[in-house]
Amino acid sequence: MKILVLCESIDVNDSSATKGRVALINNLKQCGFKLKVYHYTRKNIFIEGVECIAIKEQKVNIFYLLSKLQVSIRRTFKINISTFFEKQFGFSFSFFNDVNSIKKALDKEVDFNPDWILTLSKAASFRSHKALLKLPKWHSKWLAYVHDPYPMHFYPRPYNWVAPGYYQQQEFFRAVSKKAAHSVFPSKLLKEWMGSYYSDFLERSIVIPHQISDNLEINKETPDYFKENKFTILYAGSLMKPRNPSGLVEGFQKFLENNKGAKIHAQLLILGKKEYFGNYLNVKKMELPQLYLSSGYVPFNEVQYIQNNTSVNVILEAKSEISPFLPGKFPHCVKANKPILYLGPKQSETLRLLGGNHPFSSEIDEVDKIASHIEVLYHHWKNKTEQQFLNRPDLEVYLSYENLKETIERLKEVSIKA
């Protein structure tokens, strides 16, 4: 089976989203499918064993010139005129130029003749999807991957972002839901969530979770700040405004107060950007020498090393009624086979997969409960019990390339019968 992949980036260090997309590409390769990857990374990056084509940005057109003019005005006069134009057209000038650059590259593809064309994006950008909408010849083979709610006003509370061009973005995604042969979601709850806004997503979509991949490079050296002989709780990831870490930090602090002997054995590592909570965390750092804060972004392979060797991995989500996302770190945590401390709403994709009876879960602000969970985890670690491991082979299978292969082949069988 041939699959043409169209994605915005294959640089695993630019975002957690790209890490997930590259893991998916690697596992598609491991399935034995023949791949051809067009990417808009604008760097000479390759995935081993996969034909990768870097898409060039088009620089001789009105959108490119307007985007550069807009940047110059912002830098010179400190005026951002992009909001006005996005309200009118739904997207920025650079977005339109990127879409046209991607479309032009695909227009030149004549030899590969794929069975499917898979569009992958990242963050709040769906440039590859917009480009494919302009190419009706591909629609009957189009697998549109939707990694997050879109537009951003479809995020569940407490997320409350509304983009300037929200209506045009909403209609753009309505077209994606109707034109794609199938849509792909990493989460069952996300499929249902987006299906509540666009019914076509419910009718012709599949779930392909974030993948466990064995092809990702991992550090072989221990970072100085990580003490492997200690009971280590790790949270790795950007702390967006709704992801408040105070419950975790204060739960850890309470655990130390209740277990004096643990003070020399325990450490809490918070790795990643934390601009919204920097002041709070820096104050807490003065109180807690057991708390380590990275100065900002930590390279992916370094985080992977610590995830695999920590005592506990933390998944932290927003205080909400529902979290339909499958966190990008979820497969890494499952593969690490260390206990997962889940802090988030009861109705979530993470808890759906871990199971409603997962012993180490709470809301993000339940300090006493978090402290109690940490205490139990500490005693499992100290006494070297079987509970110091996650032991979920069922999840490893669910997140594996074997399950991915079955899903894609089953989709092809349905397509042939249709």
- Mean pLDDT in residue range 201-212: 96
Burial-class residue 289 by CB neighbours within 10 Å (0-12, 13-18, 19+): exposed
- What's the one-letter identity of residue 35? L
Backbone angles phi, psi at 268, to 5 degrees: -115, 120
Confidence at residue 77, expressed as pLDDT on a 0 to 100 scale = 81
> Are 216 and 238 within 8 A, CB to CB?
no
- Mean pLDDT in residue range 61-70: 89
End-to-end CA distance of the chain: 18
List where CATH 3.40.50.2000 sits in the chain: 2-211+403-417, 231-397
- Tens-digit pLDDT profile for residues 356-379: 899 999 999 999 999 999 999 999
Peptide bond into 245 cis (omega under 30): no
Confidence at residue 42, expressed as pLDDT on a 0 to 100 scale = 87
- Tens-digit pLDDT profile for residues 176-188: 999 999 999 999 9
Stronger pLDDT, 124 or 310, i.e. the higher one: 310
Nearest alpha carbon to residue 376 among 365, 367, 385, 363: 385
Nearest alpha carbon to residue 110 among 226, 4, 243, 264: 4
Dist CA 14 CA 27 (whole Å): 20
**For the chain, what is the largest distance between any 2 Cα atoms, rounded to a whole number of angstroms?**
68
Nearest alpha carbon to residue 53 among 91, 124, 106, 97: 106
SS3 of 67-110: HHHHHHHHHHHCCCCHHHHHHHHCCCHHHHHHHHHHHHHHHCCC
- Tens-digit pLDDT profile for residues 302-359: 999 999 999 999 999 999 999 999 999 999 999 999 999 999 999 999 999 999 899 9
Dist CA 3 CA 251 (whole Å): 47
What would the DSSP string read from start to end of 146-180?
--S-SSGGGSPTT-----TTHHHHHHHHHHHHHHS
Tokens (6 digits) for 73: 């005005």
Lowest mean pLDDT among 70-79, 154-163, 276-285, 292-301: 70-79
> Are 389 and 16 within 8 A, CB to CB?
no
Dist CA 207 CA 83 (whole Å): 35
Confidence at residue 416, expressed as pLDDT on a 0 to 100 scale = 59
Confidence at residue 415, expressed as pLDDT on a 0 to 100 scale = 64
| Cβ neighbours around 287 below 10 Å, total | 10
Dist CA 195 CA 125 (whole Å): 19
Tokens (6 digits) for 250: 């204060």
Strand-by-strand arrangement of the 34-39 sheet: 51-54, 34-39, 2-7, 116-120, 142-145, 182-185, 205-207
> Are 210 and 399 within 8 A, CB to CB?
yes
- What contacts 24+ positions apart, CB below 8 Å, involve 384-387? 387/339
Dist CA 268 CA 251 (whole Å): 11
Is the pLDDT at 216 greater than 70, yes or no? no
Strand partners, 362: 343
231-397 CATH fold: Rossmann fold (3.40.50)
Mean residue pLDDT of the chain comes to 93
What sign results for the dihedral spanned by CA atoms 182, 183, 187, 192? Answer: negative
- What's the one-letter identity of residue 94? S
Nearest alpha carbon to residue 334 among 212, 207, 185: 212
- Mean pLDDT in residue range 405-410: 96
Dist CA 27 CA 213 (whole Å): 6
Dist CA 172 CA 165 (whole Å): 11
- What does CATH list as the number for 2-211+403-417? 3.40.50.2000
Burial-class residue 338 by CB neighbours within 10 Å (0-12, 13-18, 19+): buried
| Cβ neighbours around 406 below 10 Å, total | 12
Measured CA distances, 308 to 249, 287, 305, 389, 393 (Å): 22, 28, 5, 11, 16
Confidence at residue 417, expressed as pLDDT on a 0 to 100 scale = 54
Confidence at residue 85, expressed as pLDDT on a 0 to 100 scale = 84
